[in-house]
Homo-oligomer: A and B are copies of this chain.
Amino acid sequence: MTIRELDVDELFHAALNGNRRALGRLLTLIELGGSAADAIADQSFHRQHGVPVIGITGAPGAGKSTLTGQLLRTLPELGLRPAVIAVDPSSPLTGGAILGDRVRMDDVSGDHGFIRSVATRGHAGGLALSVPGCARLFDSAGYDPVIIETVGVGQVEVDVAGAADTTVVVVTPGWGDAVQANKAGLLEVADLFVINKADREGANDTRRDLELMLDLSHVSGQHQEYRPPIILTTAVDGHGVDHLWEAIVAHRSHLERSGELTRRRQARFRFEVMSRLNDHLSSMVDTITATIDDRSGRSPASLSAELLNSILAPDAGRLR
């Protein structure tokens, strides 16, 4: 697909004036990548306002979509215009259930918000590039806040959660759920914990597990200035969602006061440039290694050194 710069400009202009179809097309172009995506990334970058970006992550079935749906209902009442980027699991097996959630969430979005599902199919690098791109587009198009919902089950999801200013980790009552979140590396990225389905048995045990883990991480030097609060919610009836939003706003204030917001956005900027470079270079490597064979009598070590010399600028040497 070739999209001329002119078309991107027109779409961008329309999206900024509230045209939802134009915004949808721009989001699709970002996901497809390539030069059109780069042009959109450029425009969004220069027009962004820096609105809060909130990541909501946790195990499948924790109730992230329902919780996100409740935020989408509540925030417009506060004069906000939220956008949601929902990162779907790639498994076609779970497609149905997730789709159900999406439909329910679409019902409430109306003109007061926007929901976009981003496929996790394709390469991991693509997702790391497209999610920040979509978030920035929503920001520049006047949405506030931007919510990124991901299933927290692997490195990709943790990376995507890292694209947020405030990361909310959702767990449910039940033995070992907090331990699982710890194993998946979610505790390290959590700015806020939600124990959802808090009306179920074991909510207090889960809270105690989380407090214990926070005590341990405090001792080991993490989170020394800020201790993530634990919020109890029952997303199906909206119970506790107001407390969640208050905690998100309080975390935002902490980020601004402490200078941490600047530091995080800086780190994300660096991570995004790094992802772009790695993505580009690994496609190059795929191309140049597609035709090599072991009958040249060259060892992998000497062949890769030679290929490296052929693709790198002579003065790139000081960087090696």
Contacts and interface: CB of A to CB of B under 8 A. Distances in A.
A143 to B, nearest CB: 19
A92 interface: no
Contacts of A305: 38
Given A292-B269, A300-B45, A319 B311 contact: yes
Task: State the main secondary structure of chain A at its contact with B.
Answer: helix
A243 interface: no
Interface residues of A, number: 48
A282 B284 CA distance: 13
A273 B290 CA distance: 10
A265 to B, nearest CB: 7
Given A46-B299, A277-B289, A284 B316 contact: yes
With most chain B CB atoms within 10 A of its CB, the pick from A265, A304, A316 is A304
A3 interface: no
B292 A282 contact: no
Contacts of A286: 274
A273 B287 contact: no
Interface string A308-320: 1011111010011
A289 B310 contact: no
A293 interface: yes
A293 B271 CA distance: 11
Given A42-B299, A293-B266, A304 B276 contact: yes
A41 to B, nearest CB: 4
B294 A285 contact: no
B41 A301 contact: yes
A277 B308 contact: yes
Contact of A45 (B274, B287, B293, B301): B301
How many copies of this kind of chain does the complex include? 2
Nearest to A271: B289
Contact of A308 (B280, B290, B293): B280
A288 B316 CA distance: 10
A94 to B, nearest CB: 12
Contacts of A281: 278, 281-282, 285, 308
B276 A300 contact: yes
B273 A307 contact: yes
Given A285-B277, A289-B273, A311 B308 contact: no
28 contacts: A38-B302, A38-B305, A41-B299, A41-B300, A42-B301, A46-B299, A266-B293, A266-B294, A269-B293, A270-B290, A270-B292, A272-B300, A273-B289, A273-B307, A277-B288, A277-B289, A278-B285, A280-B320, A281-B282, A281-B285, A310-B313, A311-B312, A311-B313, A311-B316, A311-B319, A312-B312, A312-B313, A313-B313
Interface of A: 37-38, 41-42, 45-46, 132, 265-266, 269-270, 272-274, 276-278, 280-290, 292-294, 299-305, 307-308, 310-314, 316, 319-320
The 7 closest A-B pairs by CB, nearest first: A45-B299, A276-B304, A269-B294, A311-B316, A272-B300, A38-B301, A41-B301
